[in-house]
Amino acid sequence: MSVGLNPRFRFDSLVVGATNRLAVTAARAVAEQPGVIYNPLLIYAPPGLGKTHLLTAIGHLALAKRPGSVVEYLTMDDFNEDYHAAVAAGRGDAWRQRFLATEVLLLDDVQFLAGRREMQAELLRLIDALQRENRQIVLASDRPPAEIEQLDERLMRRFGGGLIADIVSPDFETRVAILRRTAEERQTAFLAGVLEAVARTPIESVRELLGVLNRLVAEQAVTERPLTPERVRALLGIDAAAAATAAVEVVAEVTETVVAAAEESSTARDEFGTFLAELQATLEAQVENWRLGAERAVADFGARGFATRRLEQLLGDTPPAEPDVVIRQYEADVERLEAIAEEIAALAPELVESQTLRDPDALAAAELLLDDAKYRTLPLPGPVDAFSLETLTETPGNRMAVHGARTAASEPGVRYNPLVLVGPPGSGKTHLMHGIGVALQAAGMSRVACLGAGEFSDMLIAAIERNAVPSFRARFRRVNALCLDDVQLIAGRERTQEELFLLFNALSERGTQMVFTSSRRPAELVGLAPRLVSRLEGGLVATLEAPPRRERRMSGAVQGPAFRNAERVIWEWPDVLDRVIEEWR
Amino acid sequence: MPLVNYAARELTCKVVYYGPGRSGKTTNLQYIFDRVPAVRRGEMISLATQGDRTLFFDFLPLDLGTIAGFSVRLQLYTVPGQTYYRATRRLVLQGADGVVFVADSQSRRMDDNLESLRDLQENLLEHGMEPRTMPTVLQYNKQDLPTELIHAMPAMDDALNFRSAPSFGADALRGVGVFESLKAVSGLLLRRLAAEVPSA
């Protein structure tokens, strides 16, 4: 379906010359593959140089290639009036839908957008909508966009994103060719040199040039005598100076053989020019397949949520050296991103929404994110299973602590949270802490972390070095129970205390059981932040007394099971020997 | 294969005009040479005998300017048609991207046409080029001669065009069919190039 297409304006009735070749080639390309190559295409030229012809020719060719498609041609004035009529009738949406249904929209005289903010905004929306749907939009203006007054910068950018082609006044040969073709269409023969004389007039507009030709056709019909070049010059009022300037050419004109040679030369140039224009169209359509591929890739990957900057740059003004390599690399990067995203989804679902995983230009960052996800899921040090609550000897000095430990193990996070075990070295607090961890694991709890407060601090320092504190936090916040030995070791370490404070709050909110050991009550520790002190003191603080020397041999860590699995104990609890020595002393 | 230099953005294609002796191959090139603006073409190199028969080959480089960001050049060659220059023909055919087979439409030259076509096929195969996929157009020259002396287009097609290649009637002296043939073979080889250039 076509709206408003003048049947006379087609590509085969257009004379192609050096001054309009780019515009014609681009126009052919968009007519053959609407919405694919140059979108939008903007053609600008002074009045009378064939903009409307070209726009209409695009419409005809697009329809010939795809019969049944919707092609609409209208001037900016029509566009404007239709819009206001639609708005007045309360049918603004219908107006928009009408244009969204077109496959090729041809808008003439867009210079009349000057100062019309409302229409500019509508056109902007329309261009965006049409581009999204791969519909072609072609615009014509009598001046370059930069010279259209008060043109919205966003519109300028949209125009620049497609192709802007200009047409300037045709050269002498092209003017002769246009005049000859038109004379043939009018079935009028002129003497040699007549059309050349017309072509030499200082008229720039082809439309006006054809007006002159019409006058000559009429003149010749009325006088019934062939017009001579001299008569034509007299009729057109070409002044003496101009005539003098053209004197050399006049000599050529009167020499029949020279005129014939000039005609042949002109025809010859036309023949090669046509060949070149058609070949250009073929090459544009064929060799630039990568461009179509890139545009398709932009649409496809864009729709899947991937950033397409790299491909958009590919489609910029300067074609890259090896576009297919760039496209293949982009696809490979997207494939890798998808694999990374899948792996991360399994490891750390909270990271999967990261925009990094949608940006092939940030593949290196995505790899780091995967490392981060892996780090987050690395198991934290667990309890040493040699220390169980069952192997602990209950004494009057540790009764309350043992009770607290057993309760924490049987009802984690419910009654004594946090449980803070306080005692001097050798009192068995570490044994108790690990015992709780072992009991929780035995009850089926996963991710039970048991580690020294010094180790916690060292891990934080390593994370700061790697700029990976969020991963450090995420790793600890995944635990289902946290047992931290020797809290007194972080006294004076402000950053560690801050992280512990944040972790405490997060785990507390989730009801995660926490067990701490300390050589002194938290309130007595110098260098421990009051906010941490209050939280530790807010749970159950159970003290353990050092057992008499004779009982030590039979108690806790030095009992048989620890040594039956000595290698593992040393591996998982590197300071066990120090503790044993301390126990023995 | 067309020579594609992505770094320099250059595309160079070799088109060979093949056919029996005196069928009009050099005339084709001469016509093109006369029609192409001087800035667009190099010198036409013609090694000819005194009788103006092509001795070795004609060569006409054409600069088509920048198309789709590529500086495009066509190199047009003719081969000597006479039977005894087979080795030269094979040499010229090497590296061809497209072939314009210029047949003589005169009835009495049909055997020469057929022999030349066979020769073309053999030479292509010797170079490891597949005749079925080589971009080829057929030009039936001298269609301007009296009809009683020539085969009309359908008869020429029946006799020579068993692969349904694009075919053109021509009068190379006056340029009829010359640019049409060149355009067709250029289009075919560019399409082939596009198919071979990996795209997204």
Measure CA A466 to chain center: 28
pLDDT score at B42: 73
Mean pLDDT for the stretch of residues A195-202: 80
Ranges A178-192, A232-246, A496-510, most confident = A496-510
> Is A283 touching B (CB cutoff 8 A)?
yes
- Is there a domain that residue A568 lies in? no
Cα(A557)–Cα(A535) distance, integer angstroms: 29
Kindly report the pTM of this predicted structure. 0.38
Q: A16-20, A317-321, A484-488, B129-133: which range is least confident on average?
A: A317-321
Mean pLDDT for the stretch of residues A131-156: 85
- Is there a domain that residue A111 lies in? yes
- Is there a domain that residue A558 lies in? no
- Is there a domain that residue A244 lies in? no
Q: Vertex A356, ends A352 and A357: CA angle to 5°? A: 50
Check CB contact under 8 Å for A282 and B191: yes
**Residue whose tokens read 């694991």:** A441
Closest residue by Cα to residue B150 from B103, B108, B106, B114 = B106
- Whole-number Cα distances in Å, B175 to A271, B52, B161: 10, 19, 22
Mean pLDDT for the stretch of residues A401-426: 89
Measure CA B144 to chain center: 20
Asked if A138 and A113 sit in the same domain, the reply is yes
What totals of helices (H) and strands (E) does chain B contain, helices first? Answer: 5, 8
Asked if A312 and A451 sit in the same domain, the reply is no
Cβ neighbors of A412 (< 8 A, separation 6 or more) are: A440, A445, A480, A481, A512, A513
Report the length, in residues, of chain B.
200
Q: Quick check: helix, strand or coil at residue A473?
A: helix
Q: Please, which pLDDT band fits residue A554 given cuts at 50, 70 and 90?
A: very low
- Is there a domain that residue A247 lies in? no
- Is there a domain that residue A243 lies in? no
- Full domain range(s) for residue A154: 2-166
Nearest-by-Cβ selection for B70 from A276, A282, A287: A287
Mean pLDDT for the stretch of residues B45-64: 67
Cα(A514)–Cα(A483) distance, integer angstroms: 6
Cis peptide before A530 (omega within 30 of 0): no
pLDDT score at A294: 72
Residue with more model confidence, B55 or A328: A328
Cα(B24)–Cα(B103) distance, integer angstroms: 8
Asked if A295 and A404 sit in the same domain, the reply is no
Which residues of chain B have a CB within 8 Å of the CB of A297? 200
Closest residue by Cα to residue A288 from A538, A36, A92, A584 = A36
Minimal CA separation from B95 to chain A, in Å: 20
Nearest-by-Cβ selection for B6 from A278, A282, A321: A321
A517 has pLDDT over 80: yes
Asked if A424 and A291 sit in the same domain, the reply is no
B69 has pLDDT over 70: no
Report the length, in residues, of chain A.
585
Backbone conformation region of residue A453, classed left if phi is above 0, alpha if psi is from -120 to 50, else beta: alpha
Q: Vertex A526, ends A521 and A530: CA angle to 5°? A: 75
* Domain end among A316, A348, A376: A376
pLDDT score at A158: 81
Check CB contact under 8 Å for B199 and A292: yes
**Residue whose tokens read 């566009």:** A79
Mean pLDDT for the stretch of residues A146-158: 82
pLDDT score at B138: 97
- Is there a domain that residue A584 lies in? no
Mutation target for B interface from A38, A279, A315, A325: give the one with most B CBs within 10 A: A279
Asked if A425 and A503 sit in the same domain, the reply is yes
Nearest-by-Cβ selection for A289 from B9, B36, B199: B199
> Is A331 touching B (CB cutoff 8 A)?
yes
B198 has pLDDT over 50: no
Asked if A276 and A222 sit in the same domain, the reply is no
Q: How many other CB atoms are found less than 10 A from the CB of residue A165?
A: 20
Mean pLDDT for the stretch of residues B16-23: 93
Residue-averaged pLDDT of chain A? 79
Asked if A182 and A196 sit in the same domain, the reply is yes
Phi, psi angle pair for A22, to nearest 5°: -60, -45
Asked if A442 and A295 sit in the same domain, the reply is no
Residue-averaged pLDDT of chain B? 84
Number of domains within chain A: 4
Cα(A125)–Cα(A163) distance, integer angstroms: 19
pLDDT score at A340: 93
Minimal CA separation from B191 to chain A, in Å: 6
Check CB contact under 8 Å for B194 and A268: no
Mean pLDDT for the stretch of residues B177-199: 77
Q: Please, which pLDDT band fits residue A547 given cuts at 50, 70 and 90?
A: low
Asked if A156 and A49 sit in the same domain, the reply is yes
Residue with more model confidence, A137 or A317: A137
Mutation target for A interface from B9, B34, B35: give the one with most A CBs within 10 A: B35
pLDDT score at B6: 57
CA torsion sign for A324, A326, A327, A331 is: positive
Check CB contact under 8 Å for B194 and A289: yes
A260 has pLDDT over 50: no
B contact residues 60-99, partner A, Cβ 8 Å cutoff: 64-65, 67-70, 72
A258 has pLDDT over 70: no
- Is there a domain that residue A427 lies in? yes
Which residues lie across from A138 on neighbouring strands?
A: A41, A106
Which residues of chain A have a CB within 8 Å of the CB of B189? none
Mean pLDDT for the stretch of residues A491-499: 88
Which residues lie across from A72 on neighbouring strands?
A: A3, A105
Q: A39-53, A406-420, B64-78: which range is least confident on average?
A: B64-78
Minimal CA separation from B73 to chain A, in Å: 12
Asked if A182 and A295 sit in the same domain, the reply is no
The answer to whether residues B58 and B77 touch, using CB atoms and an 8 Å cutoff, is yes
A369 has pLDDT over 80: yes
> Is B39 touching A (CB cutoff 8 A)?
no
Please measure the distance between the N-terminal and C-terminal CA atoms of chain B and give it in whole angstroms. Answer: 21
- Whole-number Cα distances in Å, B76 to A72, A282, B177: 43, 19, 16
Q: A432-436, B49-53, B117-121: which range is least confident on average?
A: B49-53
A229 has pLDDT over 60: yes
Cα(B164)–Cα(A28) distance, integer angstroms: 27
B156 has pLDDT over 70: yes
Cα(B92)–Cα(A254) distance, integer angstroms: 47
Domain containing A138 — which CATH number? 3.40.50.300
Mean pLDDT for the stretch of residues B61-85: 78
Asked if A397 and A360 sit in the same domain, the reply is no
Cα(A384)–Cα(A41) distance, integer angstroms: 73
CA torsion sign for B25, B27, B33, B35 is: negative
pLDDT score at A576: 62
Asked if A432 and A487 sit in the same domain, the reply is yes
Minimal CA separation from A441 to chain B, in Å: 54
